Amino acid sequence: MRFFNVAGIAESGSAVSLFFIAMPLKYIGGNEILVEIIGPIHGFLWIIYIALLGMGYIQQKWNIRAVILGGFLSILPG
């Protein structure tokens, strides 16, 4: 589970890039190329993060409240 922190940081960084760089460029500048690149990367990293949460619950016996909170917080924007 040593990759959980790395996955969380990567997922957060991709969300920040998507929300504060790519989406403004799409809606203000009319250039959607970064959304087309960063969007799928962010989605993939989010799936990895959720999978690692599940693995932590099953393999490491993480507290169910912490797992639910981690999942809930991962869907809040910015």
pLDDT of the residue at 72: 94
Residue type, 63: N
Domain residues for the domain of 16 are 3-75
pTM of the predicted structure, to 2 decimals: 0.88
Helices 33-59 and 3-17, packing angle to 10 deg: 150
Q: How many domains does the chain have?
A: 1
Q: How confident is the model at residue 2 (pLDDT cuts 50, 70, 90)?
A: confident
Residue-wise pLDDT tens digits, 17-70 = 999 999 999 999 999 999 999 999 999 999 999 999 999 999 999 999 999 999
> Which residues contact residue 78 at a Cβ distance below 8 angstroms, ignoring those fewer than 6 apart?
15, 16, 19, 20
Reported as a single tens digit per residue, the pLDDT across 4-21 is: 999 999 999 999 999 999
